Structure 1
């Protein structure tokens, strides 16, 4: 009788342990296609990009950093009367319905003080800072491919 009670108790514990976790309002963010364009000789400013997708609640990209540059900024790009205008912004939003695509010729990352030692084909760590609707910060680390101009 005792063995049956112990076996039943272990069975109940096993069922609870294997139950699915409750769903939460948290988001999952992924980065893909990250890149940095190697600056022209004698220059230390570069552009970069990636695609961010989110599952769940919207997020905002609020910053980025890398060990190959002193500073990384978020920039928008627009054409005004035939003139390309880039502007630093504090955040860029990403939702399930609207992934964030940062690319050459569009919204992008600007890197200042880029190391002259980077080589095309290498990768660099890129750490992205995101916030949710409550202002809670999180980071996402990805690898950015070093590309040549026009690649």
Structure 2
């Protein structure tokens, strides 16, 4: 292999590693790990958006996500979507249980964080702070990456 080809290969590998590191970000709060907070881009004039993440509890006691807040929206609520007969229903929930030794995924079509009264569209590539409040662990501010309108992530165990 020539020296030029080796340098190009190393540069490509370095860029790939940086892209993966930027894509998969997590935050710690005691025994809790908050994995890859993200939101989907919204259309101009769209009044609501969603934020998604995973919470892994490595502790011996359960905890609850009891609230969230973000300056990008007038209000933030914890929501659940589920099928009732042939109809998809969405409703606010008072808390999201995070059992001891388990993980919970907030994702499109299930539990999620609803951003109500968006102050501006969420644009792909932007980031915003989201404060999460847990019943026992306390509060942590995470960085939410705004991804494409159809973004979806599966939790890795």
Instruction: State the TM-score, normalizing by the size of structure 1.
Output: 0.74
Query: Runs of 5+ in structure 1 lacking a partner?
Result: 1-26
Match of 2:16 in 1: none
Per-residue deviation, residues 55-106 of structure 1 (Å, max 9, x unmatched): 2121100000111111111111110121100110110111233312100111
TM-superposed deviation, 1:117: 5.1
User: What is the CA–CA distance in structure 1 between the aligned matches of 2:121 and 2:81, rounded to whole Å?
Assistant: 28
How many residues are matched?
A: 121
Match of 1:127 in 2: 131
TM-superposed deviation, 1:41: 2.2
Match of 1:20 in 2: none
* Higher mean C-alpha deviation, range 93-102 or range 82-91: 93-102
TM-superposed deviation, 1:150: 0.7
Match of 1:70 in 2: 74
Alpha-carbon RMSD across the aligned residues, in angstroms, is 1.5
Larger radius of gyration: 1
Instruction: State the TM-score, normalizing by the size of structure 2.
Output: 0.71
Match of 1:103 in 2: 107
Alignment check: 8 A CA contact 2:40 2:49 kept: yes
